[in-house]
């Protein structure tokens, strides 16, 4: 399996598991005050991350490019939302680096995996 695909899938799954099982701890790790965040929303985020990770890691090669592209699109939208929240003063530097900047990294990796998979098809 491509190292970029593995890294993206495993990292995404780790974030998903953390967000689901330990939403307050995960929020703190991302620089978000758990007292000001909603555990339910954090767990929804975790479930979404687990679904994207599972799809990416389990995808047969013919389905890999579109699955990776969908994940990249989700991450790009997350980045836009995160940078907008930073502009509004709602994200700390730590939350900005681990949130929207991280989403840009994930979007880039997802696009890379999608391009490689499409080229290999």
pLDDT band of residue 1 (cuts 50, 70, 90) is confident
Mean pLDDT of 30-51: 93
**Mean predicted lDDT score pLDDT of the chain:** 96
Q: What is the pLDDT of residue 6?
A: 97
Q: What is the mean pLDDT of residues 80-106?
A: 96
Mean pLDDT value of segment 44-63: 97
pLDDT at position 5 is 96
- The pLDDT value recorded for residue 37 is 86
Q: Which residue is listed with tokens 């994940």?
A: 71
Angle, alpha carbons 23-13-106 (nearest 5°): 100
């Amino acid at each position: 399996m491509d190292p970029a695909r593995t890294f993206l899938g495993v990292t995404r799954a780790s974030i998903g598991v953390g967000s689901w099982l330990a939403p307050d701890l995960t929020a703190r790790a991302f620089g978000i005050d758990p007292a000001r965040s909603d555990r339910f929303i954090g767990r929804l985020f975790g479930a979404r991350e687990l679904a994207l990770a599972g799809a990416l890691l389990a995808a047969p090669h013919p389905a890999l490019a579109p699955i990776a592209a969908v994940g990249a699109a989700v991450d790009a939208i997350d980045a836009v939302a995160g940078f907008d929240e930073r502009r509004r003063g709602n994200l700390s530097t730590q939350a900005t680096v681990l949130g929207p900047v991280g989403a840009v990294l994930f979007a880039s990796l997802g696009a890379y995996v999608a391009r490689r998979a499409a080229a290999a098809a």
